[in-house]
Structure 1
Amino acid sequence: MPVNMPGPVPGNMPLVGRDDVLRGLEECLDVAAEGAFRFVALVGEPGAGKSRLLTELTGAAAARKLVPLNGRAAEFEQEMPFGAVVDALDDHLEEHFPDLGPAAINLLAPVFPALSTALLDPLGVPGTAAPHTGTPVARYQLYRTVRHLLEELAAPSGLVLVLDDVHWADDATIELLDHLVRHPPRARVLIAVAYRPAQASARLQALVQASAQGGCGHVVPVGPLTEDEVAQLLGPRVGRARCRELYEASGGNPFYLEALARSAQPFTGGVQEGDLPPAVRAALQLELSGLSPDALLVAQGAAVAADEFTPPLAAAAAEVSEDVALAALDELVARDIVRPAAERFRFRHPLVRHAAYGSAAAGWRLAAHGRIAVYLRQIGAPAALRARHVERSGRVGDRDAVATLVEAARAFATRAPATAAHWLSAALRLMPENAPEPPAGEGLPSRLELLMELAQVQSVGGQLKEGRETARALLRLLPDDDYGRRARAARFAALMERQLDRPNEARALLLDELRRMPDPRSPAAVPLRMRLVAERMMRMDFRAAQAVLDLMPDTGDDWEPSLEVAVAAMRPMPALAAGRIADALRYAEAADRLLGAAPDEHLAEWMDAIAWCCWAETFLGRYQHAADRFRRAVAVARSTGQLYVVTNLMAGLARSYGMLGRLAEAAAAAEEAVEEARLLNSGQQMIFALTQQSLVACWSGEEETALRHADEAVRIGAGVGEWWGSMARYARAVALLGLGRTDEAVAAVAEATNDFDAPVLDAHTLLSCCEVMAGAEAARGNATAAAEWADRARLFVIPGLDAINPLADLARAHALQLTDPALAADRAVAAAEALEAGQIRVDAGRARLRAGLAHAEAGDRGAAREQLRGAVRLFEECGARTLHGQAVREQRRLGVRVPGQGGRGATGPGGLSKREQEVAALVAEGCTNAQIAERLFVSVRTVETHLSHIFTKLGVTSRVGVVSAMNRGAGAGRD
């Protein structure tokens, strides 16, 4: 030990100067122990003491009977999918294997090695209970399953998941954490992460900020120690002059201080930005130089090999026998360079590994990667574990290396697409640019095929710009007469341009490629024309879309069967938009026959066309049929890895379920659509999804949530002048109406419809706009304005669409309510019956509610009770809580005895539970949902759910109504 070394062995030095941090961590643990999710982020420079604080957190969690699980991301394994999460959870999964269920295991097994092992029988043969099929899955499904896994691990006492060095975590890990913050586990769970701010990705910093703003996050800055704290840490054996020298050289950084304290050398220079300070680097190098040659060699090999390594792996990397490696590890443990962890070893700190790695010559490291790759192949390690070493040691033209990288990429193409893209790019670097096509039967793709695969993986991972550029690069490489592959690449590039909200560039690219083709009617040209049709329809330019379709036959002698299906799928929408309802229905029936008979692989070739066919079914009012088609299309898109279209399809499914009154299923589908869109990083898809999520929330009686979703969709700013951008503004108007902010809603409707001057919304949505505005004006007692909206609604009636057109009758009923309630009742009943026949149940309930009010106004109390009873039944079955509460309130006004909805524990006004009273009281204080969540230690989503129940029980539709009801209740209590 150097003469100036402080007493305790470094690494076991006392913790000083962190009392405030520890108190904050303990408070978070207490909150988590009570049942509220917490996310804690320790933020500090390298060596600031974050890992030590996480160790203290782990001990405090165990003392509270919370199960602590620890993982760490690694500097030299940054591309490993879910590395830190696997490190934390994998060793604890086998015991939970029987509890997870086949579906969950099938999703998790490709990520967690322990579950893959558990799927093997004792002879190593794959089991039959839940074999992993390798089918691509949506990342959202995987993340949701991990959330359920955490809930399982948390039972019964609670869980603390500790992830260190997440600045090195791969994109998939950050996405997973982002998902868990926005959709917290429903259990006693605390997630604690530590990272370096200068090396953290923008996505990581954004999720930490969002967690703090959402009320579940706690950011803990970990700064340097003061000079007095350094002196306290070093103890009385170190003189004041030495303390000052160590403090100035370390800048108060605990790890730097520890490294420098190991050395008896004098220091020059202080802490600097960037890599290790020179004095610290010198101290670590001095520490390593004191090792025996074999120990240094094994340390260098282990640093190259893995963050957590076994003796055989270190031996293979160092090219020594296992006996030599074991002896060297004994020395490394004795010198506190590495520390044992069960049958494995880890460096005492990532910075020590960094120093050991840097001490090896670059050429030696390259050879070590090659030796590790050979060793891992010999023991049967999966391609994903070998890929990092193959990437660094492979040579140009090495076909085995290319095959390994491609295999690794395909294993995680949908689960961790950023990693897959990295490995495919590495494979391309090892393929000569003029390499011949690989021999048939080898299974190795050509360079051109790999480029297309890379473009698709980049798009799935939200790297839309990169995917577009890769597809364009492929176009530059393809021969001019390779029309089939050029068409496929151009169609994909145009689709990426569309996802990036660049429709003009998409159209120009398609037209340019069509001009290259000698025969514009050839099978190779049809896909490009189909994409042009889709581009026109997005802008509601159905006349131009129809003109392109008119040039295409229904089939051709040299067509693939899938092409016939695709053309048929595109035909209904333009016909519908042109008001040719008979043609649209005929086209829809023809497409339905072809789609029903076609195998999934035919649909997979044309998912964008299939999506338009599904949406056409919704515009025709055939919602049950549309839901069936959307479900199949989603399954095909997922099974073939075409996740860029899943958001569109899930949004359509949410719309179909919502119109059918299956609001719980609609909410789930809309939430999934939003999550997929966030992962895709496409503004267009986000607007699609958020719009449907907003509408479903509004139908469900969660108007504030609906407005928040609509506001986010409008803020994204994409799609101006196109249908989906206008739909977002329409959803915002509906949410404002639900909140009783009618003047703002009128302005929002004008914006969404372009004040009805060449609007780009579909006729059904325009009719809905007029109907809800007629109802809003009637509610304000403005008969003239209500009648004007009802008159305008008649302009958007489309003869032949019997499921949709009744909204015009409902609009007229709203207007007549103020002048002729008996006639209003007749109109509303007719609308209700037609809507129920079309299975449009929420609107049918609204029509019955209007009929009940009108009958009551006309003095026919019996008919009023009958209609209100029908409305209550529909709203209850659908889960439309606000509307249900309104209908029940009207029943009570007519003398109908309706059981209270408070249930067990309901003690407050309107039957509010104790927790609902607390939420309502905070609303009365003027607290926002986020503030209420923070005060009550619950999630914002939980607050929203409580508010929805409060609105229903109190019979109000806004926070203002809650305040009024609470004030009335307080006044009644005083009386």
Structure 2
Amino acid sequence: MDVIPPARAAFDVLAAGVDTVLARNPRLAVDWCRAALGLLSAVPDGSRQQADLLLSMARAHARIGELTQCRAAFAQWSALVGPDEELKQAADILAILSLADGRFTHARVILRGAVGHPAAVNTGSLRLDLAATAFWDTRWSWSDAALAVIKEDQRLQRAHALVLLAVEALDREEVDQALRLVKDSADLVDLRTDEDLAERPVIMSDLGWAETYLGQNQRARQRFMRGLLVCEASGQYLPVAPLQAGLAELALRQGALAVAADRAERAVSAARSLGHNDHWAMALVVRSDVALGAGRHDQALADATCAMEVVDLDSPQWRRAHLAYATVVLANGDSAGCVRAVLDVAGDELGEFPVWERRRAAKLLGRAERAAGRVQHAVRWEGIRARYEALLNLPDKSAAGPVQVSRREFEIARLVSEGRTNRQIARLLEVSHKTVETHLARIFAKSGVSSRAELAGLTVANRVVARPRA
């Protein structure tokens, strides 16, 4: 009977388990890949699996948000297999790295080439990745093709495709259809556990932003908060900047400038730490808007200008940055500069902007033209603004029902409303302090609050209730 050497046995276990843990625990996948690669010299035929391990490591680093390490592992893999294999096996990684640099056209070329390649791996997932590139840039439409190849049991992928379809419908001004699609997506997402959502945490960002566009602010806030919880628990930080930026946007809408400033700062910090320029530009745009709302014109101008510089015109964030810049310019009294900044990127009919940004653009142009005494032009833009406001001023019905939590979570929420500390609650319930913190984080995510005071207010007002027994 043959005896398998310990090094070979360990190598086989690690190599076989990497893909199993990659989706939900990418940090563990990186550790296993590194350990397996360290055993290569002791495994006679292990070099055959070296390329697979390097590719898995690159994917894991990408999920974590470690883009520099992702590039390094990917380069090692490519050197082993050759560039001809990149499109067949690693189009998803190439696209992630291109999008991080704001090179959307390059990412789309890669993904379209992979989708059409007869030997490409996971073409259904690649179609969804391709469709997702149009979330901020609605001049493209691939969501129908993605949805058509997604299997019925792939609920997260289906939810993501539905929210992408919703954004396309909204851009066509089909608001009722967009609302239905967002609800269908949310229904699928709400049935998933946090561990399930760790397989595709970006869905929480995209769904939250779609709900924001549709005026469903409370639901959007809950989505962003839960998304952050999922990212923290699974060690995946790529979607963190858009999630924090979404919370900053919602706080700004409510006039909560201190909260908005804090969230915007977190978004900027997250994007910069990952080296994700496109997310950095997005976060800078939100921070510019917050600074302007607080009367800090110099910071607002600096942030908007920086956002325009860190990505080029290939990125939809470049156009959003011009809107932020135009807003600051107008606030500083430069009407002509505002008009130029908007029309240079939006086109005469504002068609280069998604529908939800045309309202802001038309508002800026109307104010700028009226300030310049060009009344006829101002009236035209004011009419366009009124049309988009009528289209998009939707009542926020997302807070219609109470938030349902587990009975243990409700017990903790009630004790928080009584002013108890986490340690006091832990003693009363005879659980660990860490258990209370975990439950509290889940309650925050479900209810969309970020402080004990907010949670106490919801609980006292019967807006947080225990889920009925089955």
Aligned-residue offset at 1:616: 1.2
Counterpart residue number, 1:548: 145
Aligned-residue offset at 1:694: 0.6
- Residue 714 of structure 1 contacts residue 729 of structure 1 at CA under 8 Å; is this kept in 2? yes
Residues 568 and 756 (structure 1), Cα distance of their counterparts in 2 relative to 1, 3 Å cut: closer
Pairing of 1:527-606 with structure 2 (within 5 A) = 527-542=125-140, 544-549=141-146, 551-552=148-149, 555-556=151-152, 559-606=153-200
Distance 2:168 2:221 in 1: 21
Pairing of 1:190-201 with structure 2 (within 5 A) = none
Counterpart residue number, 2:252: 658
- 1:523-544 Cα offsets, whole Å, 9 max, x none, are x4321110010123443224x2
- Residue 271 of structure 2 contacts residue 280 of structure 2 at CA under 8 Å; is this kept in 1? yes
Aligned-residue offset at 1:678: 1.0
Distance 1:599 1:671 in 2: 29
Structure with a larger share of its residues in helix: 2
Distance 1:721 1:512 in 2: 19
Pairing of 1:287-686 with structure 2 (within 5 A) = 428=37, 430-432=39-41, 435=45, 448-449=52-53, 451-457=55-61, 460-463=65-68, 466=71, 469-470=74-75, 473=78, 476=81, 489-517=90-118, 524-542=122-140, 544-549=141-146, 551-552=148-149, 555-556=151-152, 559-686=153-280
Residues 499 and 397 (structure 1), Cα distance of their counterparts in 2 relative to 1, 3 Å cut: same
Aligned-residue offset at 1:724: 1.5
Distance 2:162 2:101 in 1: 27
Distance 1:569 1:768 in 2: 23
Aligned-residue offset at 1:576: 1.3
5+ residue gaps, structure 2: 1-6, 400-470
Equivalent AA in structure 2 for residue 510 of structure 1: L
- Residue 691 of structure 1 contacts residue 713 of structure 1 at CA under 8 Å; is this kept in 2? yes
- 1:12-31 Cα offsets, whole Å, 9 max, x none, are xxxxxxxxxxxxxxxxxxxx
Residues 465 and 606 (structure 1), Cα distance of their counterparts in 2 relative to 1, 3 Å cut: closer
Residues 605 and 421 (structure 1), Cα distance of their counterparts in 2 relative to 1, 3 Å cut: closer
Pairing of 1:885-964 with structure 2 (within 5 A) = none
Equivalent AA in structure 2 for residue 456 of structure 1: A
Quick one: percent identity of the two aligned structures?
A: 24
- 1:73-119 Cα offsets, whole Å, 9 max, x none, are xxxxxxxxxxxxxxxxxxxxxxxxxxxxxxxxxxxxxxxxxxxxxxx
Aligned-residue offset at 1:738: 2.0
Equivalent residue for 2:328, pick from 707, 725, 735? 735
- Residue 170 of structure 2 contacts residue 355 of structure 2 at CA under 8 Å; is this kept in 1? no
Stretch of structure 1 that moved more, 428-437 or 566-575? 428-437
SS in 1 for 2:133: helix
Residues 597 and 423 (structure 1), Cα distance of their counterparts in 2 relative to 1, 3 Å cut: closer
Distance 2:333 2:360 in 1: 17
Equivalent AA in structure 2 for residue 428 of structure 1: L
- Residue 573 of structure 1 contacts residue 616 of structure 1 at CA under 8 Å; is this kept in 2? yes
- Residue 540 of structure 1 contacts residue 722 of structure 1 at CA under 8 Å; is this kept in 2? no
Counterpart residue number, 1:915: none
Equivalent AA in structure 1 for residue 40 of structure 2: M
SS in 1 for 2:134: helix
Distance 2:76 2:105 in 1: 17
Pairing of 1:773-788 with structure 2 (within 5 A) = 773-779=365-371, 783-788=375-380
Equivalent residue for 2:293, pick from 684, 699, 707? 699
SS in 1 for 2:142: helix
Residues 719 and 660 (structure 1), Cα distance of their counterparts in 2 relative to 1, 3 Å cut: farther
Counterpart residue number, 1:771: 363
- Residue 667 of structure 1 contacts residue 697 of structure 1 at CA under 8 Å; is this kept in 2? yes
Distance 2:143 2:60 in 1: 29
SS in 1 for 2:313: coil
Equivalent AA in structure 2 for residue 539 of structure 1: D
Aligned-residue offset at 1:635: 1.7
Stretch of structure 1 that moved more, 503-512 or 576-585? 503-512
Distance 2:58 2:37 in 1: 9
Equivalent AA in structure 1 for residue 107 of structure 2: A
Distance 2:398 2:177 in 1: 20
Counterpart residue number, 1:748: 341
- Residue 464 of structure 1 contacts residue 500 of structure 1 at CA under 8 Å; is this kept in 2? no
Equivalent AA in structure 2 for residue 541 of structure 1: R
Distance 1:450 1:468 in 2: 6
Normalised by the length of structure 2, the TM-score is: 0.68
SS in 2 for 1:643: coil
- Residue 674 of structure 1 contacts residue 689 of structure 1 at CA under 8 Å; is this kept in 2? yes
Larger Rg: 1
Counterpart residue number, 1:720: 313
Residues 586 and 632 (structure 1), Cα distance of their counterparts in 2 relative to 1, 3 Å cut: same
Counterpart residue number, 2:435: none
Distance 1:565 1:837 in 2: 21
- Residue 454 of structure 1 contacts residue 470 of structure 1 at CA under 8 Å; is this kept in 2? no
Normalised by the length of structure 1, the TM-score is: 0.35
Distance 1:567 1:663 in 2: 34
- Residue 655 of structure 1 contacts residue 666 of structure 1 at CA under 8 Å; is this kept in 2? yes
Counterpart residue number, 2:354: 762
Distance 1:838 1:733 in 2: 32
Residues 698 and 680 (structure 1), Cα distance of their counterparts in 2 relative to 1, 3 Å cut: same
Distance 1:533 1:621 in 2: 23
Aligned-residue offset at 1:568: 3.3
Distance 1:779 1:451 in 2: 57
Residues 699 and 450 (structure 1), Cα distance of their counterparts in 2 relative to 1, 3 Å cut: same
- Residue 241 of structure 2 contacts residue 267 of structure 2 at CA under 8 Å; is this kept in 1? yes
- Residue 163 of structure 2 contacts residue 206 of structure 2 at CA under 8 Å; is this kept in 1? yes
Residues 683 and 601 (structure 1), Cα distance of their counterparts in 2 relative to 1, 3 Å cut: same
Residues 623 and 719 (structure 1), Cα distance of their counterparts in 2 relative to 1, 3 Å cut: farther
SS in 2 for 1:728: helix
SS in 1 for 2:91: helix
Distance 1:568 1:614 in 2: 13
Distance 1:785 1:512 in 2: 45
Residues 515 and 690 (structure 1), Cα distance of their counterparts in 2 relative to 1, 3 Å cut: same
Distance 1:434 1:493 in 2: 31
Distance 2:375 2:281 in 1: 35
Distance 1:769 1:625 in 2: 26
Residues 495 and 436 (structure 1), Cα distance of their counterparts in 2 relative to 1, 3 Å cut: same
- Residue 456 of structure 1 contacts residue 467 of structure 1 at CA under 8 Å; is this kept in 2? no
Aligned-residue offset at 1:739: 2.2
- Residue 467 of structure 1 contacts residue 493 of structure 1 at CA under 8 Å; is this kept in 2? no
Distance 1:541 1:609 in 2: 21
Equivalent AA in structure 1 for residue 103 of structure 2: R
Residues 434 and 622 (structure 1), Cα distance of their counterparts in 2 relative to 1, 3 Å cut: farther
- Residue 462 of structure 1 contacts residue 679 of structure 1 at CA under 8 Å; is this kept in 2? no
Residues 663 and 791 (structure 1), Cα distance of their counterparts in 2 relative to 1, 3 Å cut: same
Distance 1:743 1:796 in 2: 23
Distance 1:474 1:596 in 2: 42
- 1:804-825 Cα offsets, whole Å, 9 max, x none, are xxxxxxxxxxxxxxxxxxxxxx
5+ residue gaps, structure 1: 1-395, 439-444, 804-833, 840-975
Counterpart residue number, 2:467: none
